[in-house]
Structures are given as C-alpha cells and as structure tokens.
Homo-oligomer: A and B are copies of this chain.
Amino acid sequence: MKPQICHLPSDCRPVSEILSRIGDKWSVLVITLLGDAPLRFGELKREIGGISQKMLTATLRALERDGFVLRRDYGTVPPKVEYELTELGRDLLVPVTALAAWARQNQTHVEEARRRFDDACPERTGGSG
C-alpha cells in the first residue's frame, strides 16, 4: 500500500502510512490479540477464524517488518513459532485501543447514520436537492 504523493502539512504522510498499514485488514485484530498474550501461528489462525494462511503470514510479516511484532522461532520439529508484540507494538496498542473504544461506543451511531442515509439516498442520488 503505497502512501501516494501528498502536498499536505506533515500531518498526513505518517498518518496515511500507519492507517494504511494497520487499517489494511487483519492487522488491528492481530495486534489486539497479541496485546493480550503471545500466540503461535496456528493459535492466531484459530482465534481469528476466517483468515487464510497467506493473509496471516503476510500480516505478521508486515507487522514484524514495521517493528510491531516479534517472531520467535523455536526451531523445533514439529515447528513452533510464537508471535508477540514488541515495545513499539504495545505502544501502538494504546491509540489503537482508544480508537477501538470509540468504535465500540459509537457503533450504533454509525449504523443509524447509514440507515438514515440509505433511506434518504434513493430519492436523492439522482439530483442534488
């Protein structure tokens, strides 16, 4: 997810960067789960229940690359790999948790707004006013 060109004050670039990263699909989910406790690959997959190996791997790789997640390979047979949040990851968890709290608190407002919009929309979408 390239952050595209941006002519705005310094606010936009890092924010779009982070948002594109953690807002991608499963990242917040993974971060939240790992914020609770370190988990193995399979445990994460089972907990999430709906993610493909490919996406879980990609998500973890990206998170690891960004320094949010630490991959701990025990090098055993059968393989055992544990993932845990780094300090940066736990740090990120704070504003993410705040956003999560907001989302839970205002969830119904958003849903109502959507219903209102969808109800008003078909009569409006043709013209303005």
Residues of A within 8 A of B (CB): 4-8, 10-12, 14-20, 22-25, 28-29, 32-33, 47-50, 61, 64-68, 73, 75, 79, 81, 88, 91-92, 94-96, 98-104, 106-107, 109-110, 112-114, 116-118, 121, 124-125, 128-129
A17 is contacted by which of B22, B49, B61, B103 (Cβ under 8 Å)?
B103
A19 is contacted by which of B5, B99, B107 (Cβ under 8 Å)?
B99
Let me know if A106 and B128 touch, CB within 8 A. no
In the bound complex, how far is the Cα of B103 from the Cα of A72, in angstroms? 26
Closest Cβ–Cβ distance, residue A103 to chain B (whole Å): 4
A65 is contacted by which of B64, B79, B113 (Cβ under 8 Å)?
B113
